[in-house]
Structure 1
C-alpha cells in the first residue's frame, strides 16, 4: 500500500463497500441507495427530502430518482408537512419499515464484522483520519478558493 495515494485507497475501499452493499441489496430487489435512504427517514415522523439528501451526502436532485423508485415499490409515501404546508415529508410505509430493518441489520453486520477484524485503536485512528480529511475538504484547506482562470 506504500505506493498508493490516499485518495486511491479511499476510492477503492468505498467502491468495494458499495459493490458489497449493492450485491446484498439486489437479493431483496433493492439498491444501496435505497437502503441508505430508508435508514435516513425517521420511522415515525417522516423526513423532508432535503434532510434525507443531506444525511446521505448527496444532492437533492440526485435523490429524486431514488425516491420515485421507492414510492413506486410501495416503500414510502409523501405527505404534506403539517408544520409547513409548502413542504412534503417522506414517510415509510409498513413495507418500507420492514425493508429499513433489513437495511439496518445489514449495516450492523458490516460494522460487527469489521470490528472483529480491526482493533478499537485501529478503528479510532481510521475515524480520526477520516474526520481530518473531511475537515480539510470542508475548510477548503487543500485547494482553497483558487481559480486558475482568474
Structure 2
C-alpha cells in the first residue's frame, strides 16, 4: 500500500532531501535547519524574531533553539527593533552572511541538478500538485470539523 499513497511519497522524499542537506551542511559546521533560517533572515535589514517562525512554518520553541545555536556560533546577533521598542531584529553577522551564501549555493545546486533531470512540464505539474495539497489543507477540505 505504501507505494500508492501520496503522503508516503512526500514524507520519504522530504526525509531523503533533509538527510542530503544535513550531510552537506556538516561540511560547513551547520545544519539544514540553520541553513533554512539563514536564508529566511533579510540579509540587509534583519528580520523581526516574531515573524521568523510563521515565515518558516516553525514552532517558536524549535526556532528559539536554532537561534540560540546560531548566536553561539556567531552567525546572528539580536538588536532592538527601532520601529518597535519591545521587539528584536535578528541580523546576520559577517560569518552568518558567509554561511548564508553557502546555504544559498547548496539550494541552488540542488535545484540546478533536478531541473537538468526533470522536464519543465513535470516540474510544473509537481508544483501544481503541491499547491493543491497545501490549498486543500488550508481550506480544511480533507478533514472537516463539523
TM (normalized to structure 2)? 0.96
1:53-132 equivalences under 5 Å are 53-132=53-132
Give the CA deviation at 1:145: 1.6
- Residue number in structure 2 paired with 1:39: 39
Give the CA deviation at 1:68: 0.0
- Distance in 1, matches of 2:50 and 2:18, equals 22
**CA offsets 1:44-82 (integer angstroms, 9 cap, x no match):** 100012222222211122100000000000000000000
Which one has the bigger helix percentage?
A: 2
List structure 1 segments (4+ residues) > 2 angstroms apart after TM superposition.
Answer: 1-4
**CA offsets 1:105-139 (integer angstroms, 9 cap, x no match):** 00000000000000000000000000000000011
Indicate yes or no: 2:114 matched with 1:137.
no
TM (normalized to structure 1)? 0.94
Give the CA deviation at 1:38: 0.2
Q: Which runs of 5+ in 1 are unaligned?
A: none
- Residue number in structure 1 paired with 2:5: 5
RMSD: 1.3
